[in-house]
Structure 1
């Protein structure tokens, strides 16, 4: 994933930067939206979501306050094609795309958008940085199988003879100086899709992935670092690059030489 592949398997990428809460975010949206339009993200949408608030302690001895819901606005800034968008909340900026080319292009666009938000809000600190990739492994025809694309360690019992496989998951959690990484390989029969937690805000998936119906695998790699630091775009870029490098190493440990040659 370090360089552009002509037939790349990545079909969804998202990065999120969490920062200090800005409760009067609404007052800055007009200025942010104007700058986002200049950066070719003119598709603006505002939503109000209900956030669950869990109470602490008891009101009186023996009584516990019930959870409540608090309305909170979030804002989307999308491109014309509908494949790439920013999502801004009171304490986070997410950047997601279904037309991923290279990490350099992706991180450049993310940091430009984050810089726009910082110019308006004057952010104080960063709390967490996350980066996640979904890659679809789609064998073609009867001449290829998942064995040609994935190492045996993640295949499990998915290719047992005389049985139609429905679903299996291989998951690995590792830590490194860059942060924490969770790698999942989901093998299932059906159509390529998104995890439930991503479906509400995700851009449209490229049809070349969704048109495939049958046995396939999704490599879901999620890396993050949680550490409070003073806001600094150069440090954020360095941490994003470190997370990407860990994801890249993990990806190459999961796929075969045949897979890389097929996607090159």
Structure 2
């Protein structure tokens, strides 16, 4: 069982499972929402997003090549504290939280949501499983410096060039047996926030992070397994566990022993 750190740097965690499209998802919403309420996700919202769909290929008339506007529904199931929520789309369910405790409890919440969907929708397959962590790294003690918390490989030239640092970015992409791993470290001064691609209806972030400002690093670690497989909760659990293991390995290669001791 994982142990929660005393001053855990993780401030946002998200996992997503993509499955076979359910185009009449709206008709199943009453059953899904009722079960989500039983799992202590009583908040509910329905959003409609519009996006352009561009035709493939070069054949056809000029008129047929004009992009069309597609409407896509997304359903939100949140907890009372607005810290953890499910986002449901026609081909994916996403669990996001800013109240992360341990991987085991986070995983179980996601599996509970998938179980609800499968009971109602009878899902056929999954084709992408993803897990992503955002950690805010900054000195805990007044005598510490940021470089005490990060390994030299991700510091770049942040502490070697003259002038005031605007931004330093380090990114590494690796292909593993568990899936593709992307580790991105951004060093800058200011407040702690979310990347633009996560800015749509995020949960409430802990004030410990939103009120802090200064030189810090955002460690964004994203792992995904992409392959069409028959829907099976045990297999999904195994895939997510493997993704978590490589994310944990990546994070420990990014931060120092001093950082781990300061957070423990």
Give the TM-score band, short-chain normalised: over 0.9
Query: How many angstroms apart in 2 are the aligned matches of 1:166 and 1:121?
Result: 49
Query: How many angstroms apart in 1 are the aligned matches of 2:49 and 2:99?
Result: 27
Residue 232 (structure 1) aligns with: 232
**Contact 1:57 1:64 survives alignment (8 Å):** no
Residue 76 (structure 1) aligns with: 76
What CA deviation, in whole Å up to 9, does each residue of 1:3-26 have, x standing for no partner?
311110000000000000000000
What CA deviation, in whole Å up to 9, does each residue of 1:172-194 have, x standing for no partner?
00011100000000001110000
Whether 1:117 aligns to 2:121 is no
SS of the residue 1:37 aligns to: helix
Query: How many angstroms apart in 2 are the aligned matches of 1:168 and 1:254?
Result: 15
**Contact 1:21 1:90 survives alignment (8 Å):** yes
What CA deviation, in whole Å up to 9, does each residue of 1:61-111 have, x standing for no partner?
666611111111110000000000000000000000000000000000000
SS of the residue 2:74 aligns to: strand
**Contact 1:58 1:64 survives alignment (8 Å):** no
Residue 217 (structure 1) aligns with: 217
Q: Deviation at 1:211?
A: 1.0
**Contact 1:86 1:94 survives alignment (8 Å):** yes
Query: How many angstroms apart in 1 are the aligned matches of 2:2 and 2:146?
Result: 23
Tell me the C-alpha RMSD between the 2 structures: 1.5
Query: How many angstroms apart in 1 are the aligned matches of 2:72 and 2:263?
Result: 42
**Contact 1:138 1:212 survives alignment (8 Å):** no
Query: How many angstroms apart in 2 are the aligned matches of 1:160 and 1:212?
Result: 25
Residue 108 (structure 1) aligns with: 108
Q: Deviation at 1:150?
A: 0.3
Query: How many angstroms apart in 2 are the aligned matches of 1:166 and 1:196?
Result: 18
Residue 129 (structure 1) aligns with: 129
**Contact 1:2 1:248 survives alignment (8 Å):** no
Whether 1:153 aligns to 2:140 is no
Q: Deviation at 1:201?
A: 2.1
What CA deviation, in whole Å up to 9, does each residue of 1:210-254 have, x standing for no partner?
111111001000000000000000000000000000000000011
Which stretches in structure 1 are left out of the alignment for 5+ residues?
none
Residue 205 (structure 2) aligns with: 205
What CA deviation, in whole Å up to 9, does each residue of 1:148-179 have, x standing for no partner?
10000100111136521111100000011100
**Contact 2:140 2:262 survives alignment (8 Å):** no
Give the count of matched residue pairs: 264
